[in-house]
C-alpha cells in the first residue's frame, strides 16, 4: 500500500503534462554522430587527464549521454540502479551542454535525491515541486515586468493606443 499527498500527486501530474507537451518540442544539443563522437573523445581525454588514469564511458553510459544530447524532446531523463554510472554520463552531458551555452538542471522527486544528484554530478538540482514553484514565480515576475514596461511606455507616449480594428476587408 502506498501513501502520498494531493500536493505530490499534483506535482507529478504537472510534470507528466510538461513531459508530454515537450515531445519533439526541444532542440537537440548535438545534431550528428560525428559531433557526438568528437565530444565523447574530448570528454574521455579530459577525464583521463584529471584522474591520471585512463577513463572510458561504458556502452550504456555512452547511450544515455547520446540520448540526452541528441534527442528532440524538451525534457530528458536518466534512471538506473546505484553504481551503474549515471553520474559519469551526466557529467559528460553537463560539460557538453554548458560548453554550448545550455543550462542544465536536475529534477528529482525528493529533496534527498535532488541533493545527491547535485552533489554527485555537479548539476544544479531541485525537486519537482520546487521546479514548478520557481517556474510559476518566474512567469508571475515576467508578467509584472511587462505591465510595468507598458505603463512606462504609456506615461511617455511610446505606446500606440489602438482605437480601430487592425483587420481590414476588401471585396474582390
Q: Are 47 and 65 in contact (CB under 8 A)?
A: no
Render each residue's pLDDT in the chain as its tens digit; 172 residues: 778 888 888 878 888 888 888 888 778 899 999 999 999 999 999 999 999 999 999 999 999 999 999 988 888 778 888 788 888 899 999 999 999 999 998 888 889 989 988 988 889 999 988 988 898 899 999 999 999 998 888 888 776 665 555 555 555 4
Residue whose grid cell is 519533439 = 24
pLDDT at 51: 93
Say how far apart CA 153 and CA 30 lie, in whole Å: 41
* Buried b or exposed e, range 51-66, using 16+ CB within 10 angstroms: eeeeeebeeebbebbb
pLDDT at 7: 83
* Distance (Å) of CA 88 to CA 9, 30, 91, 111, 115: 31, 18, 5, 21, 17
pLDDT at 172: 46
Write the DSSP string, 101-157. T----EEESSHHHHHHHHHHH---EEEHHHHHHHHHHHHHHHHHHHHHHHHHHHHTT
pLDDT at 86: 86
Amino acid at each position: 500500500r502506498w501513501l502520498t499527498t494531493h500536493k505530490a500527486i499534483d506535482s507529478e501530474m504537472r510534470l507528466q503534462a510538461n513531459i508530454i507537451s515537450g515531445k519533439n518540442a526541444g532542440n537537440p544539443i548535438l545534431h550528428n554522430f560525428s559531433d557526438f563522437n568528437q565530444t565523447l573523445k574530448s570528454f574521455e581525454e579530459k577525464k583521463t587527464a584529471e584522474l591520471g588514469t585512463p577513463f572510458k564511458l561504458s556502452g550504456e553510459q555512452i547511450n544515455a549521454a547520446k540520448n540526452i544530447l541528441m534527442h528532440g524532446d524538451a525534457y530528458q531523463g536518466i534512471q538506473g540502479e546505484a553504481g551503474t554510472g549515471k553520474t559519469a554520463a551526466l557529467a559528460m552531458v553537463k560539460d557538453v551542454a554548458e560548453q554550448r551555452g545550455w543550462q542544465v538542471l536536475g529534477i528529482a522527486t525528493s529533496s534527498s535525491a535532488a541533493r545527491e544528484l547535485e552533489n554527485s554530478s555537479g548539476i544544479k538540482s531541485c525537486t519537482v515541486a520546487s521546479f514548478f514553484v520557481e517556474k510559476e514565480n518566474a512567469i508571475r515576475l515576467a508578467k509584472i515586468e511587462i505591465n510595468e514596461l507598458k505603463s512606462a511606455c504609456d506615461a511617455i507616449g511610446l505606446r500606440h493606443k489602438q482605437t480601430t480594428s487592425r483587420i481590414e476587408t476588401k471585396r474582390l
